[in-house]
């Protein structure tokens, strides 16, 4: 039984909940529990979409600095790859994912949010990558995912200064996708995730893989990835259901089975 990170499933939506008071500091145990919860959400056929949520007060205020302060170069070199893959584990879930952000999402906390497909923030949110203020850089995917999301210039500004970005600016630069009242963050995330509980799950997975993998390669290779994913869907039941329903009833009426 995980101590700090749980997966709760209701009505086709899985909620990965971070709960290590007071600030959800992401120590090694939390990192590995996040990895395990992401894997559980991946293999559970009842989960059609996933929310990552830190609770009503804070998303996650970063790595456990006290734990890191005791680590040598040799020790960190041995685990840095594990740290990065654990904080990015949500990105490996082949289903729509949304980060529901209240309060602080800093350092590793923001890196977890960046690994989701979509981000909804409360208007009290403060986001940032303050690692340079500690003589470090983001090491959980922040330099890469942030630059891909908001562009290198804005990413460098955030990383170089370590400053906190408030919700309105985060929305303006594309760091988050929607801003709501703090008390409405989780329900807004459920509404977004709920769009996909009856969707063609394999098509969504193929779309996600095509986009994510295509961002890492040149256009020609990306188009080949798209072709392979597109063709693969002709082996699915949902493709048969979707096309038959379209022919008989028009768009948007198919009842998919996720196969």
Average pLDDT, rounded, for the chain = 96
Sign of the Cα torsion 63, 104, 116, 98 reads positive
Is the model more confident about 70 or about 51? 51
Give the separation between CA 106 and CA 158, rounded to whole angstroms: 11
Taken in order of first residue, the domains within the chain and their CATH numbers are: 5-194 (3.90.226.10), 201-249 (1.10.12)
| pLDDT tens digits along 107-120 | 999 999 999 999 99
Give the separation between CA 32 and CA 27, rounded to whole angstroms: 9
Predicted confidence (pLDDT) at residue 163 exceeds the cutoff of 90: yes
Predicted confidence (pLDDT) at residue 67 exceeds the cutoff of 90: no
Structure tokens at 249: 């009833």
Give the separation between CA 72 and CA 42, rounded to whole angstroms: 34
Give the separation between CA 218 and CA 191, rounded to whole angstroms: 35
pLDDT score of 65: 87
DSSP β-ladder status, 5-10 and 13-18: antiparallel
Is residue 131 part of the annotated active site? The answer reads: yes
Predicted confidence (pLDDT) at residue 129 exceeds the cutoff of 90: yes
pLDDT score of 63: 85
Cis peptide leading into residue 146 (ω within 30°): no
pLDDT score of 1: 72
| pLDDT tens digits along 197-233 | 999 999 999 999 999 999 999 999 999 999 999 999 9
- Angle, helices 237-249 vs 201-214, to 10°: value is 110
Structure confidence at residue 70 as a pLDDT band (50, 70, 90): confident
| Options 56, 70, 131, 259, the catalytic residue | 131
pLDDT score of 183: 96
| Options 111, 169, 248, 255, the catalytic residue | 111
Give the separation between CA 188 and CA 37, rounded to whole angstroms: 22
Which residues share a beta bridge with 240?
none
| pLDDT tens digits along 14-65 | 999 999 999 999 999 999 999 999 999 999 999 999 999 999 999 999 988 8
What residue ranges in the chain does DSSP mark as E strands? 5-10, 13-18, 49-53, 97-101, 104-106, 118-122, 126-128, 165-166, 178-180
């Amino acid at each position: 039984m995980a101590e700090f990170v749980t997966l709760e499933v209701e009505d086709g939506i899985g909620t990965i909940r971070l709960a290590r008071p007071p600030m959800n500091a992401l120590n090694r145990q939390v990192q590995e529990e996040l990895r395990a919860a992401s894997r559980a959400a991946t293999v559970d056929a009842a989960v059609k979409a996933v929310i990552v949520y830190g609770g009503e007060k804070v998303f996650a205020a970063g790595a456990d600095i006290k734990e890191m302060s005791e680590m040598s170069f040799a020790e960190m070199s041995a685990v840095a790859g594990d740290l990065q893959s654990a904080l990015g584990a949500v990105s490996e879930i082949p289903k729509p994912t949304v980060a529901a952000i209240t309060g602080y999402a800093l350092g590793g906390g923001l890196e977890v949010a960046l690994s989701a497909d979509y981000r909804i923030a409360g208007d009290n949110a403060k986001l940032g990558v303050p690692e340079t203020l500690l003589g470090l850089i983001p090491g959980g995917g922040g330099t890469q995912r942030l630059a891909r999301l908001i562009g290198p210039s804005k990413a460098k500004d955030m990383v170089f200064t370590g400053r906190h970005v408030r919700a309105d600016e985060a929305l303006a630069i594309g760091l988050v996708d929607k801003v709501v009242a703090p008390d409405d963050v989780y329900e807004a995330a459920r509404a977004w995730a709920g769009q996909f509980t009856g969707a063609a799950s394999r098509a969504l997975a193929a779309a996600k893989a095509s986009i994510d993998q295509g961002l890492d390669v040149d256009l020609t290779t990306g188009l080949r990835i798209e072709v392979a994913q597109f063709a693969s869907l002709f082996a699915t039941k949902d493709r048969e259901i979707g096309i038959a329903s379209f022919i008989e009833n028009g768009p948007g009426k198919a009842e998919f089975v996720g196969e």
